[in-house]
Structure 1
Amino acid sequence: MELTKVPPHNLEAEQSVLGALMLDPEVGSSVFEVVQPEDFYRDNHRQIFLALRDLFEKGDPIDLVSVAESLRQSGRLEQIGGIATISQIARSVPSAVNCEYYARIVAEKSLLRQLIRSSGQIAEKGYEPGEAATSLLEEAEKMIMDLSQRQVKDGFESIRNILLNTFEKIEALYANKGSLTGIPTFFTELDRMTSGWQPSDLIVIAARPSMGKTALVLNMAQNAAVRGKVPVALFSLEMSKEQLVQRMLCSEAMVDQQRVRTGDLLDTDWPKLTRAVGPLSEAEIFIDDTVGISLAELRSKARRLKMEHGLGLIVIDYLQLMSLGRRAESRQQEVAQISRGLKGIARELNVPVIALSQLNRGVEQRQDKRPIMSDLLESGAIEADADVISFIYRDEYYNPESDKKGIAEIIIAKHRNGPVGSVELGYLKEFTKFVNLDRQHLSA
């Protein structure tokens, strides 16, 4: 016969917290950051804590009489055992000195109960018929991750400490004038404008179809991993792993991808492809092509990759193909939450996140086809969350007689911590490759 186990709790610690708050209300400023009402195991303790917090937030006096009156007004005084219960708790604590320590005990026991509750829910779902193991695993990871994030509370920090760290960074920048502070793209003009993609930044790159947006981010990922030796996570929601690698191979080898696709290779193509395999195979590029990946699953995979291999850059192709993993009121709200979540991942893992985005058809109806911010699909949240928003424009796509053939304009429309403007790159369509422009060659 299986006996029901009593969940972890410490009633003495709970009483000590409540008694200390009545003895010295000043400790509330630290205690209310550590423990929440739901952390209390016994309901009458929870109700008393709510009354104490309410009085504290209003700036009212806190003592036996005021707590009892607050509970009486809310109709909870008799429910908790009357004024005798409050009096007994108040008398049980001789000093408020260790109140924060007791509060941490209460919070820890609460976390243990939440872990037990979550594991029980997962176990129950495991017995349900038709429950997919992968979706159950994703849900379990999300539950644990939510609990973990709930424990991380960034408090205030003295400006003295922040100034010290800031000044050290300024000194390092001064000592290395002109050097990149972020992940390089190895596109000279772009890196000069951005100083490389910065840790914790969300970078959105958007364009209409056939502008080369997938090619551009693949080139950036490839350059960072092959030349910069940066571990890169590449989430492809539109193309398969094999298709992506074939593109990267053609780009690295400078071999026409149409010839590779049809098998119509030249004898001179084989040595180029063979040589390109070496640097690509040594690069730390990790590809995931899960269709419709959810925000929670992407976060979980990126976090695991960082722990196992290190991580310097995340690339997502593309944002609108992701799912939230739960029902949203509208598609616009879903994209907004995904956008906010990607910014959260960038901050949590302290890496730049590049997300491709679609543009709406409004571009096609204007005489000037250069994209602007309002062209972003579901633009409001993306515009607010992104640190950098960049557009790709190739004039030759719309104007066959353009004098800008083979040239792509990269428009930095938003740059939270730097300048905005445009840079030009060469675009070798047959190799799906962007390159630095040779100005001398162009003017010759």
Structure 2
Amino acid sequence: MEFGPGPSTTHRLPPQNLEAEQCVLGSIMLQQGAMPKAAETLTEDDFYRDAHKYIFSAMITLFDRGEPLDLITISNLLKDSNRLDAVGGPTYLAALTDIVPVAANIAYYAKIVREKAILRRLIQTGTEIAGRCYEEQDDIDTLLDDVETTVFEISRAKSGQSYHSLKTVISDTFKYIEQLYERKEHITGVPTEYHDFDKMTAGLQRSDLIILAARPSMGKTALAVNMVQNAALLHKVPVAVFSLEMSKEQLGMRMLCSISRVDAQRLRTGFLKEQDWPKLTRA
């Protein structure tokens, strides 16, 4: 039995939705405040048609400058960059606003465009991987690492470029401050139950990177494990532990020792006393 590469996809049209692309661009020109919603999800490379890439790029430039996004300003910028004729001229730009059913649905249109772009990238990645596999020139471990990295990058980028205007950032920040003001609590994040630490940090906060640094055998891992336990057991917060130096069994023993108060040496060697078992079971 022979195994071939399967049906050819050479002449198949890549995934795209030109109507959704047109609706995104038209909505931006029709509705004030639509641009931040589109920019949160899309980049110019997410558009399939080159003309739409040029138009969206011009919109981003105007938005960054704080200038209005309308037929005149967009046409003028495209003319300055010698791209106005390439996009179809002012006539095509004007037609974009007539295509949009409901400008308020821009987030939905942008989601469609984004999903099609991801599918195209997956197809491109799959084609490149298949080519490398047929060539058989790469070390298998290197190839697997490259595949994993590429797919991970596509997955990580699926939510867009996380583009936020300063106006949106300030508005969201004020809302967050108001929430904190209404709570009237000193600990606004996840408590670790190390009170001095919690007082300094107000608890573990979203997006924070906290590094525990000390000389060897000073208790860094024990401290981190206790913080994990307290967050998970006392405050019911899901926690993941990644360790490059300890196995899952070693981490499990540390947690059991901490909670059960059983001697770590007895647990490691297996020479447990009769009274240790109920403590471990309760832990």
Per the normalisation by structure 1, the TM-score is 0.46
Q: Any conservation in 2 of the 1:185–1:220 contact (CA below 8 Å)?
A: yes
What CA deviation, in whole Å up to 9, does each residue of 1:377-425 have, x standing for no partner? xxxxxxxxxxxxxxxxxxxxxxxxxxxxxxxxxxxxxxxxxxxxxxxxx
Q: Structure 1 residue 275: deviation in Å?
A: 2.3
Q: Any conservation in 1 of the 2:257–2:264 contact (CA below 8 Å)?
A: yes
In 1, the alpha carbon distance for the partners of 2:181 and 2:45 equals 42
Flag the 1:102–1:163 CA change in 2: closer, same or farther, 3 A: closer
In 2, the alpha carbon distance for the partners of 1:196 and 1:270 equals 41
**2:224 aligned to which of 217, 220, 225:** 217
**1:169 aligned to which of 159, 172, 183:** 183
Q: Structure 1 residue 114: deviation in Å?
A: 1.9
Flag the 1:194–1:276 CA change in 2: closer, same or farther, 3 A: farther
In 1, the alpha carbon distance for the partners of 2:56 and 2:94 equals 16
Matches within 5 A, 1:12-411: 14=22, 17=25, 21=29, 27=31, 29-31=33-35, 33-35=37-39, 36-51=43-58, 54=61, 57=65, 59=67, 63=71, 70-78=77-85, 80=86, 85-92=88-95, 100-101=103-104, 103-104=106-107, 107-124=110-127, 127=130, 128=133, 130=140, 136-137=147-148, 139-148=150-159, 150=161, 155=168, 157=171, 162=176, 165-170=179-184, 173=185, 182-187=189-194, 189-190=195-196, 193=199, 197-200=203-206, 201-226=208-233, 230-261=237-268, 265=271, 269-280=272-283
In 2, the alpha carbon distance for the partners of 1:192 and 1:236 equals 24
Q: Structure 1 residue 250: deviation in Å?
A: 3.7
Q: Structure 1 residue 169: deviation in Å?
A: 1.0
- For structure 1, the 5+ residue unaligned runs are 281-444
Q: Any conservation in 1 of the 2:27–2:100 contact (CA below 8 Å)?
A: no
Q: Which amino acid aligns with 1:243?
A: Q
In 2, the alpha carbon distance for the partners of 1:234 and 1:12 equals 42
- For structure 2, the 5+ residue unaligned runs are 1-6
Give the paired residue count.
259
What CA deviation, in whole Å up to 9, does each residue of 1:154-179 have, x standing for no partner? 83547885565334312xx4xxxx9x
Flag the 1:274–1:226 CA change in 2: closer, same or farther, 3 A: farther
What do you get for the CA RMSD once the two structures are aligned?
Answer: 4.4
Flag the 1:231–1:274 CA change in 2: closer, same or farther, 3 A: farther
Q: Which has the higher strand share?
A: 1
Counterpart secondary structure, 1:233: coil
Counterpart secondary structure, 2:246: coil
What CA deviation, in whole Å up to 9, does each residue of 1:253-299 have, x standing for no partner? 44443455456x4xxx422431232233xxxxxxxxxxxxxxxxxxx
What CA deviation, in whole Å up to 9, does each residue of 1:184-224 have, x standing for no partner? 4445x537735873342443322111211112222333344
In 1, the alpha carbon distance for the partners of 2:202 and 2:74 equals 57
In 1, the alpha carbon distance for the partners of 2:33 and 2:189 equals 39
In 1, the alpha carbon distance for the partners of 2:125 and 2:249 equals 35
In 2, the alpha carbon distance for the partners of 1:195 and 1:68 equals 50
Counterpart secondary structure, 2:210: strand
Q: Any conservation in 2 of the 1:225–1:231 contact (CA below 8 Å)?
A: yes
In 2, the alpha carbon distance for the partners of 1:95 and 1:5 equals 26
In 2, the alpha carbon distance for the partners of 1:235 and 1:224 equals 16
Q: Which has the higher helix share?
A: 2
Q: Which amino acid aligns with 2:110?
A: A
